[in-house]
Amino acid sequence: MKSSVAALLLAPLMVLAQAPQVVPVVALSQAPKIDGSLGEWGSDGWVKVPVKPAIDKADRAKFGMSPDDDKNQTGSLTVQVKVAVNGSKVYFALKYPDASADTSYLLWEWRGDKYAQGKQRDDMLALRFHMAGDFDRSMLATKDYTADVWQWSAGRTNTVGVAEDQMHHMTTATLENAAEYSMPDGKTIYIKKQRDAGAPVYKTLPRPKENKGEKVPSFEVGTPSGSSADVAAKGEWSSGNWQVEFGRALNTGNADDAVFKPGQKLLGQIAVFNKGFSEHKSVSEPLLFDFSAVK
């Protein structure tokens, strides 16, 4: 189904002609524990990465949108990032401010004589990495590229300790089973989001037919398998900040995963979601993860 230009809220609009911010990757003598506690990472070497709402006020005005994105609760903030390799694995540590830990997600709420879905959404953090094509900061640029996406959520994936692993393909060529977005220049962007192979981290639950309590979950966590279990991820909220760690093999051998190569560089990006509306995120500019110091 084709969406209007309002769907541009899904991603940044313009491509900036600027060099990507470099995030150096260091070697660690000991692998960190993926638990959201960042004491092992030390106080030095953190890279400050700014994120801002996906579409700024000027672009919103250009397309007749309201000046502010009311559903974007993140705004502009700075994410501190550190990336390291130990053996055959790469690790990402991130910390950023968030006034509260939002861990509930679309609970089924008993109203009158039936359940209705609540509006609660959990906090999320996503990393994406270039896999193929002409990588862009926007999912809606008129380019063809594929990205590996790791999506951690405070309610749905955090208890499992595994991020949701996906592959996104953006293209102007007709793509089956993809979302379609009409652009101002008349072109159509096709976006296909595909979970990695294997059992997923969680699955949604249908509306209960009978009263099982005032509020009941809308999803249940499971035991991921295959490529869906590639990315370990755990977050910890404390004193107004999220601390999140990710870990994965440099090369999983799976076709739906990006490969991190020692001695080389890889483009990527960060997205932060406060109360997780996927189309109302704040994003970084492209980042260049530099593995030159890793042998």
Per-residue pLDDT of the chain (295 residues; tens, 9 = 90+): 445 444 443 444 334 457 999 999 999 999 999 999 999 999 999 999 999 987 766 666 655 667 677 777 788 899 999 999 999 999 999 999 999 999 999 999 999 999 999 999 999 999 999 999 988 877 767 788 899 999 999 999 999 999 999 999 988 788 788 888 777 777 888 888 999 999 999 999 999 999 999 999 999 999 999 999 999 999 999 999 999 999 999 999 999 999 999 999 999 999 999 987 767 888 999 999 999 999 8
pLDDT given for residue 11 in this prediction: 40
The predicted structure's pLDDT at residue 9: 38
**Structural domain includes residue 57:** yes
So what's the pLDDT on residue 285? 93
What's 185's domain CATH number?
2.60.40.1190
For the chain, what is the domain count? 1
Taking the model in full, what pTM does it have?
A: 0.89
CA distance 235 to 36: 4
pLDDT of residue 197: 94
* pLDDT, position 85: 97
Q: Is residue 154 part of a domain?
A: yes
Distance CA 103, CA 79 (A): 20
258 belongs to a structural domain: yes
One-letter amino acid of 166: Q
Q: What's the pLDDT at 12?
A: 42
Cα–Cα nearest to 216, from 293, 111, 136 = 111
Answer yes or no: is 80 within a domain: yes
Amino acid 59: pLDDT: 62
**Residue-level pLDDT at 137:** 72
Domain that includes residue 209, residue range: 2-290
Is residue 281 a part of any domain in this protein? yes
Is position 295 within any domain?
no
- For residue 87, the model assigns a pLDDT of 95
In-domain check, residue 89 = yes
To which H or E segment does residue 246 belong?
Answer: strand 241-249
Tokens found for residue 236:
């910890």
Rounded distance between C-alpha atoms, residue 188 and residue 36, angstroms: 40
Identify whether 189 is part of a domain. yes
Q: How far apart are CA 258 and CA 148, in angstroms?
A: 6
Tokens 């208890």 map to which residue?
Answer: 159
Residue 58, classed as helix, strand or coil, is helix
CB 227 within 8 A of CB 256: yes
Nearest to 283 by CA among 6, 91, 16: 16
pLDDT of residue 62: 56
